[in-house]
Structure 1
Amino acid sequence: MAKESGRLTTLSVKNACTGKHFDGGGLYLEVMPSGSRIWRLKYRIAGRETRATFGAYPEVSLTEARDRRSKARAQLRDGIDPNAAKAERAVAAQRDAGAAFTKVAAYWLASRKLGWADETHRKAEYVLKTYLAPKLKRHSIATLTTPQAKLALAGIPPSLALKARGYLNNIVEFAILEGLREDGRLLSLRGAVPKVEKGHIPAAVDVADVRAVATAINDYPILVTRAALTLAMLTAQRPGNVVSMEWAEVDLDAAEWSIPANKMKTRHAHVVPLSRQAIDELDGMLAHTKGKQYVFPALYRQNTPHLHRDALSNALRKMGFQGKHATHGFRGMFRTVARERLNIPADVLEAQLAHAKRNEIQKAYDRTQFLAERHSAMQRWANYLSTIRSDSGNVLPMRQKSG
């Protein structure tokens, strides 16, 4: 190894002319014709002479250059090529930059776009942006630990915490598949989220409660919200599907609404029969959104191109139904009341709700849609709602239970 001589000084480095100026131990300053000054180290590895670059003067001072030389010489004593180690650090830094939690989470979410219904994707995006990203934005997916993930889950509403935990596990698995995290290094989040007893979604199912909901919606002052709530009640479709209804999906002459597969939770296209009352609501919206893409336009500062589903929830709360009837509760209302009061067959009700088949055989072979039966059932349902909306209306009796 070359002897340390300390031949350079700060002044000599500053005034050095074009050429190579050695400091000992293989370190030298190369002054280029352009005037730039580059620190280099000449060394041999495996019998081959090569050079490492330590940066430019004055960004790298003489003292720092000597420190880097000492570290490089220590690596050489251990049989490590300083240039190879530098390249590995650069790759690791690039990998770490690409492994930032927010970046990987965004990649994961984008990869699920084609495999999920729009509403499912919206919910995952909401949980990530609102709860997980703010807490984990300074973390790398490569080094994210279970305690850090558990801390991020703290404070998330119980209804979303379980989903957030699932998203975190999925993001980590995605990172492993993409080579951004060590193979097999999963999170251990079992028990990280307090167990919450699942309850039924609030839904009006008693006649008096159904009458109260139907009457309040009929009297709600905001036209767009009132019409959307009415369609949700008349069709028993998911709130996200209702607010994102497009005119291209509606055939008023055939009295049908065709929801494309990408909007459905089951990933199967769904035809929804429309009663005369539903057609009337849509006719009323034509004056406001005819020629537009969406049936129900956005209100105020909503960040969606159509009415936001939260507008429906807010309206129900304003009407006094918080904890008593939710927007998703229209489905439970229909499933219970239409069966008990109108004696509509369960298979027809399930087909209208577009519930997934219960087992693999049904999923594979049962394509029954009961479309004709559902046209009749939805008209009966709409008539029933119209009847009970009036206090003086005749309430249809409970069906008689057999046996």
Structure 2
Amino acid sequence: MPRRVDSKSELVFRAAKPRAQPYLLADGNGLALRVRPNGTRTWLLRYRRPGTSKENFLSLGPYPDVSLVDARKAATIARNLVRDGTDPVEHRRAESAARKRAAEGAFQLVAQKWLAFKRKEWADETYRKAEFVVREYLSPALGNKPISTLATPEVKPVLEAIAAHAPNLATKARQYVGGIVTYAIQHGLREDGIPLSLRGVIPRHKKGHIPAITKPAEIAPLVQAINTYKSPITRAALKLTMLTGLRPGMVAAAPWDEVDLDVAEWHVPAGRMKMQHEHIVPLPKQAVELLEELEALTGRGHYVFPSPARQKTPHLHRDALSKALRELGFQGKHATHGFRGMLRTVGTERLGIDIDILEAQLAHAKRGDVQKAYDRTTFDDDRRRVMQEWADYIDRLCSAKP
């Protein structure tokens, strides 16, 4: 039988001096003070793990910060846990995790950390869309809800509300919520193995094509309407989108240091491209003239299209382009993304441009892993020629007599 140890007075523990080797000064019932050679003293409880014959130690805090009375109380609580079949060390870890989840686990806080983490691997436009959905839709509805207990019935009505007016965004929002929950599990803010069941919560909808004007007779009225738009910055951004076929978000956020007017090229780095490949955009002379006029108007700050004073973004927001087309009467007829469809359709059908050249200009992904790996063709010279043809064709349509 183990030797019985009687409880000691606090004077004994207060007088404990360090020795060359660490030692334990026992108080009985497994409680002891560990004294290290450097003078630090810590309360420890020796106990047998429930269901095993293995002994373990539980730290109860430093002495004298934790008094003898408090150490004995903590030891009693721990022994009661053992008696009930709970390992006090595991219990402490669970409590610590719960405190962490409570402090850091509000949905909006986790969502912001997830966005910061994903930004390292996403293109700017991909990040912009995710940040927009989180900020405008998910955080207002789920902001302070604990991620540790977030349940499918809480998320379902939020996604349904988004789907009612923006089905495509609802699909993205569902993906983002899943990513945020996975991030929370990986960082100890939600128990492992408790995902959400969101598949099928969004009503199915028929995917329609992005509205785009592709008939030559309708292009001139579109361009002429854009020429009347009140904001010269938004007007120029719309025209550059049309002349290059780039995604509207790329155009709106274009910095001047990517544009070389002397060689009539726009070099978009891989980090800003959806497919994570550098993209060289040839600028027809009409685009160069447009940018020179804009530079004379706004100066050469960081962004080609600086933000109006009322906007929070440092550059023109892509939604300003959509708003302009709506105000000009083209809602449901032509979207900002529709300029890409216009170039692809009209370029093929009216100008006879090779589809591979157009795909390279639009920076579309190659189909198939083999093609992605070995097809590095960018058709730079061909694209320079056909984009000038495209700009000239638009000019001819606009100058033609009715």
Looking at structure 2, the residues matched to 307 and 199 of structure 1 have their Cα atoms a distance apart, in angstroms, of 27
The match for 1:38 is none
The match for 2:201 is 192
2:172 maps to amino acid: K
The match for 1:113 is 119
1:166, distance to aligned residue in structure 2 (A): 0.6
1:150-174 Cα offsets, whole Å, 9 max, x none, are 1231211212100000111112222
Q: Which residue, 363, 369, 372 being the options, matches 1:354?
A: 363
Q: Which residue, 117, 134, 152 being the options, matches 1:146?
A: 152
Instruction: Indicate yes or no: 2:171 matched with 1:165.
Output: no
The match for 1:274 is 283
Q: Which residue, 309, 319, 324 being the options, matches 1:315?
A: 324
1:71, distance to aligned residue in structure 2 (A): 8.4
Looking at structure 1, the residues matched to 233 and 356 of structure 2 have their Cα atoms a distance apart, in angstroms, of 32
1:224, distance to aligned residue in structure 2 (A): 1.0
Looking at structure 1, the residues matched to 192 and 85 of structure 2 have their Cα atoms a distance apart, in angstroms, of 28
User: 3-state DSSP class of the match of 1:317?
Assistant: helix
1:195 maps to amino acid: R
1:72, distance to aligned residue in structure 2 (A): 8.2
1:84, distance to aligned residue in structure 2 (A): 7.4
When residues 87 and 202 of structure 1 are mapped into structure 2, their CA distance, relative to the original with a 3 A threshold, is closer
Instruction: Indicate yes or no: 2:380 matched with 1:371.
Output: yes
C-alpha contact (below 8 Å) 1:52/1:83 kept by paired residues: no
When residues 77 and 312 of structure 1 are mapped into structure 2, their CA distance, relative to the original with a 3 A threshold, is same
Looking at structure 1, the residues matched to 269 and 382 of structure 2 have their Cα atoms a distance apart, in angstroms, of 21
1:88, distance to aligned residue in structure 2 (A): 4.1
1:137, distance to aligned residue in structure 2 (A): 2.0
Within a 5 Å distance, the mapping from 1:148-297 to structure 2 comes to 148-156=154-162, 157-297=166-306
When residues 99 and 51 of structure 1 are mapped into structure 2, their CA distance, relative to the original with a 3 A threshold, is closer
When residues 243 and 44 of structure 1 are mapped into structure 2, their CA distance, relative to the original with a 3 A threshold, is closer
When residues 326 and 78 of structure 1 are mapped into structure 2, their CA distance, relative to the original with a 3 A threshold, is same
The match for 2:343 is 334
C-alpha contact (below 8 Å) 2:211/2:334 kept by paired residues: yes
Q: Tell me the TM-score normalised to structure 1 length.
A: 0.77
The match for 2:10 is none
When residues 258 and 82 of structure 1 are mapped into structure 2, their CA distance, relative to the original with a 3 A threshold, is closer
1:245, distance to aligned residue in structure 2 (A): 1.4
Within a 5 Å distance, the mapping from 1:60-75 to structure 2 comes to 75=81
C-alpha contact (below 8 Å) 2:159/2:202 kept by paired residues: yes
Instruction: Indicate yes or no: 2:87 matched with 1:78.
Output: no
1:367, distance to aligned residue in structure 2 (A): 0.7
Looking at structure 2, the residues matched to 160 and 69 of structure 1 have their Cα atoms a distance apart, in angstroms, of 55
User: 3-state DSSP class of the match of 2:182?
Assistant: helix
1:64-117 Cα offsets, whole Å, 9 max, x none, are xxxx99988965752658797566424422233222222221111111112111
1:318-354 Cα offsets, whole Å, 9 max, x none, are 1110000010000000000111111011011101100
Looking at structure 2, the residues matched to 356 and 80 of structure 1 have their Cα atoms a distance apart, in angstroms, of 55
Looking at structure 2, the residues matched to 273 and 288 of structure 1 have their Cα atoms a distance apart, in angstroms, of 23
When residues 101 and 245 of structure 1 are mapped into structure 2, their CA distance, relative to the original with a 3 A threshold, is same
Looking at structure 2, the residues matched to 138 and 78 of structure 1 have their Cα atoms a distance apart, in angstroms, of 35
Instruction: Indicate yes or no: 2:135 matched with 1:126.
Output: no
1:194, distance to aligned residue in structure 2 (A): 0.9
Unaligned 5+ segments in structure 1 are 1-42, 54-67, 394-403
When residues 73 and 356 of structure 1 are mapped into structure 2, their CA distance, relative to the original with a 3 A threshold, is closer
1:45, distance to aligned residue in structure 2 (A): 6.6
When residues 337 and 98 of structure 1 are mapped into structure 2, their CA distance, relative to the original with a 3 A threshold, is same
1:181, distance to aligned residue in structure 2 (A): 2.4
Looking at structure 1, the residues matched to 366 and 86 of structure 2 have their Cα atoms a distance apart, in angstroms, of 61
C-alpha contact (below 8 Å) 2:126/2:274 kept by paired residues: yes
1:20-52 Cα offsets, whole Å, 9 max, x none, are xxxxxxxxxxxxxxxxxxxxxxx997699x998
Greater mean alpha carbon deviation, residues 317-326 or residues 148-157: 148-157
Greater mean alpha carbon deviation, residues 376-385 or residues 131-140: 131-140
C-alpha contact (below 8 Å) 2:100/2:189 kept by paired residues: no
Aligned residues: 342
1:302, distance to aligned residue in structure 2 (A): 0.9
The match for 2:51 is none
When residues 70 and 154 of structure 1 are mapped into structure 2, their CA distance, relative to the original with a 3 A threshold, is farther
Looking at structure 1, the residues matched to 281 and 78 of structure 2 have their Cα atoms a distance apart, in angstroms, of 72
When residues 389 and 51 of structure 1 are mapped into structure 2, their CA distance, relative to the original with a 3 A threshold, is closer
User: 3-state DSSP class of the match of 1:112?
Assistant: helix
1:259-300 Cα offsets, whole Å, 9 max, x none, are 111111111110111111111101101113333111111113
When residues 80 and 329 of structure 1 are mapped into structure 2, their CA distance, relative to the original with a 3 A threshold, is closer
Looking at structure 1, the residues matched to 354 and 256 of structure 2 have their Cα atoms a distance apart, in angstroms, of 30
2:84 maps to amino acid: D
Looking at structure 1, the residues matched to 386 and 285 of structure 2 have their Cα atoms a distance apart, in angstroms, of 12
The match for 1:392 is 401
The match for 1:104 is 110
1:136, distance to aligned residue in structure 2 (A): 1.6
When residues 85 and 176 of structure 1 are mapped into structure 2, their CA distance, relative to the original with a 3 A threshold, is closer
User: 3-state DSSP class of the match of 1:258?
Assistant: strand
C-alpha contact (below 8 Å) 1:176/1:183 kept by paired residues: yes
